[in-house]
Amino acid sequence: MKYHLLTLGCQMNKSDSERVSAVLEEMGYAPVENEEEANLLGILACSVRQKSIDKVYSKIHKWNKAKNHRHLITFVSGCVLPADREKFLKLFDMVFQMGELPKLPDMIRQYGVGNGMNFNLPNGATDDSKKDETFNPVELNGEPVKKSLKGTLLAPGAIKPFWNIKPQYQSSFEAYIPIQNGCDKFCTFCAVPYTRGREISRPSEDILNEFENLLDQGYKVITLLGQNVNSYGKDKNGDEISFAELLELIGKKGMEKNADAWVYFTSPHPRDMTNDVIDVIATYPVLANQIHLPLQSGDDKVLIKMNRNHNVAKFREIVEYIREKLPTATLFTDIIVGFTGETDDQFDNTVKAINEFAFNMAYIAKYSPRPGATSYKWDDDVPNETKKERLHTLTSHLKKHTAAYNKSLYGQKLKVLVTGYDAKKQCLSALTEGRINIRIPLDEPGWVGEFKEVVVSGYTDFSLEGLPEAIREHAI
Amino acid sequence: MASEYVLEKEKIHKLIGIRHLTTSTYVLRFDKKSLDFKAGQYITVGKFNVEPRQYSVYSPNNVEYLEVLIKEVEDGKVSRQLKYCKPGDNLVVDGPFGHFIIKDEHIEQHKKFLFIGTGTGISPFHSFVGSYPNLNYQLIHGVHYGEEAYEKDFFDPDRMVVCTSKDQQGDFAGRVTDYLKNQEIVNETEVYLCGNSEMILDVFDILENKGFPTEQIHTEVYF
């Protein structure tokens, strides 16, 4: 039995795919790269752009055609809007939300495949899927709720059994820990609240268990994941610790275990960013000095229209505090250019923001209306050419700052994590603690997954080059 | 095979009644259950087989029911379905969400509030005024026609101005932005704007040009 899983979209989906793989492999399925070889085909969909959803339709039409000459089972999960979910129900054999992943083996068994399974749970975690009352159908107007709730999101508590599945980590040195699911922010450009539902925090005890387990296995980079990580705990109305407290426990655990690892989190929302989060990062060495803080626009009126619930002044306060408490931290952001109605003056404010905050990296996207998001109903009135120009302009401003920062690192000795090896170029790729890409021109594939010290020997606008000190001295 | 979609019982609310204010606008009242909210927040309301929509809570937070004010949208699936609900029907309600709320310290300080809403954007202000009895507020409600000044008797007439852009039935004939241009806003005021984004952005500009501190402007964009 072989499966092929296509994962579209963000790190959340990638993280989710590790749990999907775990469930399938526990059933006896083996992963295959080539979908032609698989008899179980799945997609973790992304609704951020129509292009991704189009890809799902294209795949399922192809797979359904293939069913004419071979036995196939298909499924889709991930970020799916209710309207698409209804259509997928007619096209896929199985459509489920992540909270229902523990039921996947039962669903597959209905097709006469697979054996019983037991989930591997992280130390201390319990499989409460069977006792979770959110899985008991309730009655609506006297009728039991079954397949009729096609367009409705699962109850928030339904995600808990999913979190308890031990993931099949795709890397031996880098792992994601989901700490929260869903979003309550309703930014007008984003459909996540409609695909993943409202914010729900994973129990801190489970997160800490998974974290400890990863440290014990020697993981070097651990990223805490969520749509709004820093609103962690707020949904529990005082029954769960805050994000800063969670980070503190992680920091303490790192100290206790003398961990040689970097812990990141993504992504926080400026509205919920508090000074205590920064203070904790400054205190515990395991918490990496890198912050990704999405600004989206440098104009207050565009931020209002985006329903971001923060303004540039609030963002400035946070950045000033980061610079004061974490002077060596790198700062990344996300920006959307050409949002509906964005004027030249409003865009100029974003340029000013890029120059003021001197980001180390900005993921700049041209606005594209996302079906399901509120702004989808508004005119996409900034011409594509203008969006392209704005993207180009902003990137050129960004480059000034990234290049200046990279130049400032020239000659410095840095600890880096080697993340990959290019056999063709006989060269290693690595990341600094601040997540700046660094190329190491060495034929040392065995270094992948290890921390190394290198001296920065070169730089470009967006990356560095480095060599171990001894080799560099020899080269000089 | 589709999986079962299951909801928590807590999210299923029973419709108590429906109050039609105009031919297209109505108030849904349903049981509150344990849904605790702060005045100004919104909830999502829907039927079981359609995507829910977001609505600011219209009712105060000190009563045993929830109300939302809904205008039937042309081609709107949800607003039309909800309009034809009958008392006793079940609704799927989630929330509360949002940060369009009044800070406790501003209530304690007896701050001045200026509320500006267009159309059903009056909802959070209806909830504010009902939830905080001694609020020192002024309300500007912008509508097309006088009949759309929904349940205006709820508000103190000395604190409310209805601006009508398409008839003369209000207190001021014209848009809220026209009215606002000639008003003086003291800098200690907390301004709350709720409605369509054009109104919000225009008012933001007017206030900014008057030198009003923009950090005291709170917004909730209706779509």
The string of pLDDT tens digits covering residues B21-75 is 999 999 999 999 999 999 999 999 998 767 788 899 999 999 999 999 999 988 7
Crossing angle between the packed helical segments A204-216 and A243-256, to the nearest 10 degrees: 30
**Phi then psi dihedrals of residue A201, to 5 deg:** -95, 140
Contacts of A391 (CB under 8 A, 6+ apart): A337, A338, A364, A365, A366
Residue B201 distance to chain A (closest CA, Å): 6
Looking at residue A191, its pLDDT comes to: 85
Both tokens of A68, joined, read 């004419």
Residue B99's closest chain A neighbor by CA? A309
d(CA A197, CA A181): 8
**Phi then psi dihedrals of residue A287, to 5 deg:** -85, 115
CB contact (8 A) between residue B5 and residue A377:
no
Q: Reduce the DSSP state of residue A171 to 3 states and report it.
A: coil
Whether pLDDT at B84 is above 80: yes
Both tokens of A158, joined, read 């339904």
**Element of type H or E holding B204:** helix B197-209
- Cα–Cα–Cα angle for A127, A130, A134, rounded to 5 degrees: 110
Q: Is A39 within 8 Å of A71 (Cβ atoms)?
A: yes
CB contact (8 A) between residue B8 and residue A141:
no
Looking at residue A155, its pLDDT comes to: 55
CB contact (8 A) between residue A377 and residue B223:
yes
Q: Which of B56, B86, B93 is nearest to B71 (CA)?
A: B56
CB contact (8 A) between residue A151 and residue B51:
yes
Helices (H), strands (E): how many in chain A?
Answer: 14, 20
Tell me, what amino acid is at A229?
Answer: V
d(CA B75, CA A330): 48
Bridge partners of A66, per DSSP, are none
Q: Which of A17, A76, A9 is nearest to A41 (CA)?
A: A76
Looking at residue B51, its pLDDT comes to: 72
Query: Does any CB of chain B come closer than 8 Å to the CB of residue A81?
Result: yes
Both tokens of A310, joined, read 């923060």
- The label of the residue with tokens 């036995």 reads A71
Query: Does any CB of chain B come closer than 8 Å to the CB of residue A96?
Result: yes
Looking at residue A161, its pLDDT comes to: 77
Crossing angle between the packed helical segments A344-357 and A384-408, to the nearest 10 degrees: 10
Both tokens of A471, joined, read 């080799």
DSSP B154-170: GS-GGGEEEEESSSS-S
Q: Which CATH number fits domain A413-475: 2.60.40, 2.40.50, 1.20.1630, 3.40.50?
A: 2.40.50
Looking at residue A476, its pLDDT comes to: 56
- The label of the residue with tokens 């610079």 reads A323
Residues of A whose CB is below 8 A from B116:
none
Looking at residue B223, its pLDDT comes to: 65
> What pLDDT band is residue B95 in, cutting at 50, 70 and 90?
confident
Domain boundaries, chain A: 2-144, 162-408, 413-475
Q: What is the mean pLDDT of residues B75-82?
A: 85
Residue in B90, B99, B221 closest to A305 by CB? B221
Q: Which of A396, A441, A432 is nearest to A414 (CA)?
A: A432
Tell me, what amino acid is at A196?
Answer: R
Torsional sign, CA A266, A301, A274, B95: negative
Looking at residue B4, its pLDDT comes to: 37
Looking at residue A114, its pLDDT comes to: 52
- Which ranges of A130-222 does DSSP label H, i.e. alpha helix? 160-163, 192-195, 204-216
Listed as ranges, residues in chain A with pLDDT below 70 are: 113-158, 472-476
Residue B158 distance to chain A (closest CA, Å): 30
Looking at residue A121, its pLDDT comes to: 40
Q: Is the peptide bond before A375 cis (omega within 30 degrees of 0)?
A: no
Chain A segment 157-176 residues within 8 A of B by beta carbon are: 157-158
Q: Which of A274, A345, A363 is nearest to A11 (CA)?
A: A363
- Domain A2-144 fold is Rossmann fold (3.40.50)
Query: Does any CB of chain B come closer than 8 Å to the CB of residue A82?
Result: yes
Looking at residue A473, its pLDDT comes to: 66
Interface of B with A (CB under 8 A): 1-9, 11-12, 46, 48-51, 54, 89-90, 92, 94-95, 97-99, 197, 200-201, 204-205, 214-215, 219, 221, 223
Tell me, what amino acid is at A171?
Answer: S
Please report, for residues B19, B28, B29, B92, the alpha-carbon distance to residue B82 in angstroms, rounded to integers and kept in the order given. Answer: 12, 8, 11, 11
Residues of B whose CB is below 8 A from A378:
197, 223
* B190-196/B217-222 β-pairing: parallel
Both tokens of B212, joined, read 């009003």
Rg (CA), chain A: 23
CB contact (8 A) between residue B48 and residue A149:
yes
Chain A to chain B, count of Cβ pairs less than 8 Å apart? 115
Both tokens of A455, joined, read 């001296």
Q: What is the mean pLDDT of residues B137-158?
A: 96
d(CA A131, CA A146): 19
Tell me, what amino acid is at A172?
Answer: S
d(CA A238, CA A231): 12
> What pLDDT band is residue B11 in, cutting at 50, 70 and 90?
confident
Which of A75, A90, A153, A315 to mutate against chain B (most B CBs within 10 Å)? A153
d(CA B25, CA B72): 6
Torsional sign, CA A244, A246, A251, A252: positive
Looking at residue A453, its pLDDT comes to: 97
Residue in A96, A194, A377 closest to B51 by CB? A194
Looking at residue A84, its pLDDT comes to: 86
- State ipTM: 0.78
CA atoms within 13 A on the CB side of B155: 26
Domain A162-408 classified CATH 3.30.2010.10?
no
